[in-house]
Structure 1
């Protein structure tokens, strides 16, 4: 039976970037990427309620699903390795090697490749029946740890923030800013804020991925008002799509601000914030909390492309000799 006791901590750090200073806006970054070397980002907070439910039900471990670069599966497999419980991953597509997949195997996760059609069936009624029969002692977790349970696990992020506000010299803050992949973390912050402050979600996926109705469904299940947040399109035309402008922005922001970003989530979210600032959408004097949701392990597969695209737009100094 699962018996896990762990209370991760994420530091709050100031983000020093010229365009923020010019606009008179302060941003503190809640560094979820630093909660652990392997169980990184927002994934643990979404997993924790599922682990608690599995323990109550007497399950031995967890089974979930995701893609070959999935941060969710990576965190789940790492947790299984750290706390000695079995994990099973149902993967999108055909068998392939990625840094993430290699880690999943090294962490002891048992993998099943579903193909693309088989993976699309994950939302159909009865999808889990065969897997429950095969792994009766494992607790199933939805893709990305989504749903109300995962959202409830993210409510603690507000408490973590409040304990550190004075470290930035802040008496208060005006809202949250974060990337949204499933909308679960955003929904958790909306629940935690209860309308006190807005939560801004920069969509890392196109609207067709259904984040908006998923957030509404979570809030409806929690029986709270569908308000207190807004979603902005930051997908740049597709999930995990990296273009030269985004690559250059990420590399420049890392050099100036000293905080690593990933191209799929946090890089897009910060670029969306800069665009909102440039358009006058964030009032001068605002203090925002930017949630670094992790995802840096997935950057490994995009590292070469990131360097190439970033270098393509880097100005070449003229020879003044």
Structure 2
């Protein structure tokens, strides 16, 4: 299996975020621009995929089989990597067939798709879920939804070192925590592991509580041998995954206009709005410095009435 350049990890720039509500509160935020590392294998996906692809190569697999929805950034990055580096990809999708921009890309990249319905997709955490798929695709390496699990989390640990290496250029001597969107919680768990309790990690949930993100993060942290702590989760799903409302879209448009940083409504837009709400509620004292992780996913905005990128 050709792993291409996945043996190394790209570096993302750290960029100050200038917005009036931060200035009023005396809170400083810098954005780790993972959206800029690659046009297709964007955001946190490269970091989560790298250890899975390494494990697949060691297992002698000829490709990857994984899960996601009709707007899945994970499947989009995986399919693009498979096309670019020449390995087979299969996607198990939530719901019923639909032609979203993401799905059309998956097909264009050569990913084989199977639609599981909603009940079938909910069974993804049950024992034995993978058995029939591994019987059908014995040469493919199974990867959990979103590139999850301890493997995916360990791929995100180097982000801590990347940020620390750029603090001087930013004019910071330190920072007081992380803020990021959480879809499966894998990247959040990786940051918790990377920090080792030194700084808190705050996760803005892009999905409702019943998706089990809290349980997944706790399981990864425990599997890594750490105590379950060092992070806090906030509900920013706004009623459900992929739920978009006029207030959110207006906030994204205004934030993009003032900051010049593109957002999307599934993850980064919701996460930044949740941060604004917490800052205005006094959750962070004046002088606090936070790193906001831009987890990419800008391709997903094509399926929504989001404003044009600046």
TM class, shorter-length: over 0.9
Q: 1:13 to 1:307 in 2, by over 3 A?
A: closer
Inter-partner Cα distance in structure 2 for 1:3 and 1:296: 24
Hey, what's the Cα distance between the residues in 2 that align with 1:90 and 1:231?
28
The structure-2 alpha-carbon separation of the partners of 1:10 and 1:51, relative to structure 1 and needing over 3 Å to count, comes to same
- The answer for the alignment partner of 2:36 in structure 1 is 34
Counterpart-to-counterpart distance in 1, 2:120 and 2:210: 19
Structure 1 position 2, deviation (Å): 3.1
Asked if 1:161 is matched to 2:159, the reply is: no
Equivalent residue for 1:20?
22
Aligned residue for 1:241, secondary structure, equals coil
- The corresponding residue for 1:319 is none
State the match for 1:256 in structure 2. 258
Deviation string, structure 1 residues 189-232 (Cα, Å, up to 9, x no partner): 00000110010111111111111111111111111011111111
In the aligned structure 2, how far is the partner of 1:93 from the partner of 1:267? 24
In the alignment, which residue of structure 1 is the partner of 2:114?
112
Structure showing greater radius of gyration is 1
Distance 2:19 2:106 in 1: 36
| Aligned-pair CA distance for 1:70 | 0.5
Q: Is the 8 A contact 1:62 1:87 kept in 2?
A: yes
Structure 1 Cα separation of the partners of residues 253 and 240 of structure 2: 20
In the TM superposition, 1:1-321 aligns within 5 A as: 1-6=1-6, 7-302=9-304, 304=305, 306-307=306-307
Paired residues of 1:2 and 1:59 also in contact (CA < 8 A): no
Q: Residues 100-150 of structure 1, C-alpha deviation per residue, up to 9 Å, x if partnerless?
A: 011111111111112222222222221111111111111000111111111
Query: What's the Cα RMSD here?
Result: 1.3
Runs of 4 or more, structure 1, over 3 Å off, are: none
Counterparts of 2:284 and 2:55 in 1: how far apart (Å)?
40
Counterpart Cα distance in 1 of 2:155 and 2:299: 22
In 1, the alpha carbon distance for the partners of 2:234 and 2:119 equals 29
TM-score under structure 1 length normalisation = 0.93
Q: Using the alignment, how far apart are the partners of 1:123 and 1:219 within structure 2?
A: 18
CA distance in 2 between partners of 1:172 and 1:40 (Å): 27
Measured in 2, the distance between the counterparts of 1:133 and 1:87 equals: 16
Structure 1 contact 176–289 (Cα < 8 Å) conserved: yes
Distance 1:90 1:203 in 2: 23
Give, in angstroms, the shift of residue 307 of structure 1.
Answer: 4.9
CA deviations over 1:56-89 (Å, ceiling 9, x no partner): 1111110101111100100000111111111111
Aligned residues between the structures: 306
CA distance in 2, matches of 1:82, 1:9: 20
